[in-house]
Amino acid sequence: MDFSSKLPNVGQTIFTTMSKLANEYKAINLSQGFPNFPTDVKLKELAQNAVAENHNQYAPLQGLPKLTEKIIEKTNTLYNSTYSNEEVCVTAGATQAIFTIFSTFLKPSDEVIIFKPAYDCYEPAIELNNAIPVLVEMKAPSYSIDWEEVKQLITSKTKMIVVNNPHNPSGKVFTLEDMQALENIVKDTNILVLSDEVYEHMTFDGSSHLSVAKFPELQKRSFLVASFGKTFHVTGWKLGYVLAPKELMEEYKKVHQYNVFCVNHPMQVALAEYLENSENYLQLSDFYQQRRDFFNSFLAQSSFEFTPTQGSYFQLADYSKVSDLKDTDFCLHLIKDYGIAAIPVSVFNKDEKCRKVIRFCFAKDEETLTKAGKILAKI
């Protein structure tokens, strides 16, 4: 068939590519971000019970009231925000929420500011909606943001700014200064904010997560996107949610209803019950900080250079002292010759510029981290 691609420059995602290669070469997979340890038995039992108790038909469009109430309670308690029950929608993971937000609000030639390196689903989704991604480079190695530069890039066409905090792949956790700078840029404008906070419960060394929900000027124009997949080690469930002020949420739901209508009912029953115990998400930072430190204790013996990640379950490492290869080639070399799969960060960078940095996912059990760590320590 003769057709013209809407995404001529897009191929297979790096996550699929690297996980496939990891399987092919039987390498330890520290590339795609997902935990390899089992899901909590309690959550599995709740899911099994929900199916057995016949919660198997369509759920309400915006999500099960029992679950949406819990989400609102959790968010307002943690971030001192003022969301009400009409201001939430349960989604098929963060990815669907993000795509639906773009589809709802972007019109041809609208501009959307995103920060590079960026998680890979933003740009294609913006382009599919005929809008234009405007790229701002975070300043390596600290991945700081020059907010003056952002200000200069605002035009009459700027519809939205996308922030990802904690940030994938760098692990950057936004500071109070970052949040205030963002607030100053958008206040008194009609610019919307999409805040991808899927790693909200993974911040380390005492730093706390500054959600847009904590800042009234930001809350009133923001979509806060979250993922149960990340928080409860169930990436395969593909469940998350979006929060936004009432008028924005009403508009969002117009599209969501034709996009998915509603999402997995029995898993929503399970999640509603599981959220009763706040320990299930409050202990996550400690849990992952231990894994980060354990993994980094091996990396510290190697010639890789790194700063311990501040948030998320990713650790970046600079391999300049190890090899002259491009990062994509270096990752191939790591898989084939050392049996370790990682992600070349250039795929997330502006113009795919290689800075000799790769990303490891440390959401793995102790045995896997030990095995991988021992190999990496010798490089």
For ligand GLN, give the closer residue by CB, 229 or 266: 229
3-state secondary structure of 217: helix
Rounded CA-CA distance 115/99 in Å is: 17
Q: How far is the CB of 202 from ligand GLN (least distance, A)?
A: 13
Q: How far is the CB of 191 from ligand GLN (least distance, A)?
A: 26
Kindly give the interhelix angle for 284-299 and 366-377, rounded to the nearest 10 degrees. Answer: 30
DSSP 11-35: -S-HHHHHHHHHHHTT-EE-SS---
For ligand GLN, give the closer residue by CB, 98 or 113: 98
Pick the closest to residue 315 from 271, 377, 362 (CA basis).
Answer: 362
For ligand GLN, give the closer residue by CB, 168 or 211: 168
Burial of 258 per CB tally in 10 Å (0-12, 13-18, 19+): exposed
For ligand GLN, give the closer residue by CB, 32 or 104: 32
Pick the closest to residue 239 from 231, 249, 227, 255 (CA basis).
Answer: 227
CA triple 138-248-282, angle to 5 deg: 60
Q: Bridge partners of 79?
A: none
Q: How far is the CB of 11 from ligand GLN (least distance, A)?
A: 14
> Could you list the residues that contact ligand GLN (CB under 6 A)?
13, 15, 32-33, 168
For ligand GLN, give the closer residue by CB, 13 or 257: 13
Asked if omega into 141 is within 30° of 0 (cis), the reply is: yes
Q: Which helix (H) or strand (E) holds 41?
A: helix 41-52
Rounded CA-CA distance 315/300 in Å is: 12
Q: How far is the CB of 168 from ligand GLN (least distance, A)?
A: 5
For ligand GLN, give the closer residue by CB, 117 or 266: 117
Given a contact cutoff of 8 angstroms between Cβ atoms, the answer to whether 168 and 312 are in contact is yes
Q: How far is the CB of 317 from ligand GLN (least distance, A)?
A: 15
Q: Where are the beta strands (DSSP E) in the chain?
A: 28-29, 88-91, 111-116, 132-137, 158-164, 192-196, 222-227, 240-243, 314-318, 340-341, 343-344, 357-361
Q: How far is the CB of 24 from ligand GLN (least distance, A)?
A: 17
Q: What are phi and psi of 157, to 5 degrees?
A: -95, -5
For ligand GLN, give the closer residue by CB, 14 or 244: 14
Q: How far is the CB of 14 from ligand GLN (least distance, A)?
A: 8
Q: How far is the CB of 94 from ligand GLN (least distance, A)?
A: 9
Q: Which residue is nearest to ligand GLN (CB)?
A: 33
Rounded CA-CA distance 352/24 in Å is: 25
Q: How far is the CB of 120 from ligand GLN (least distance, A)?
A: 7
For ligand GLN, give the closer residue by CB, 18 or 185: 18
For ligand GLN, give the closer residue by CB, 34 or 83: 34
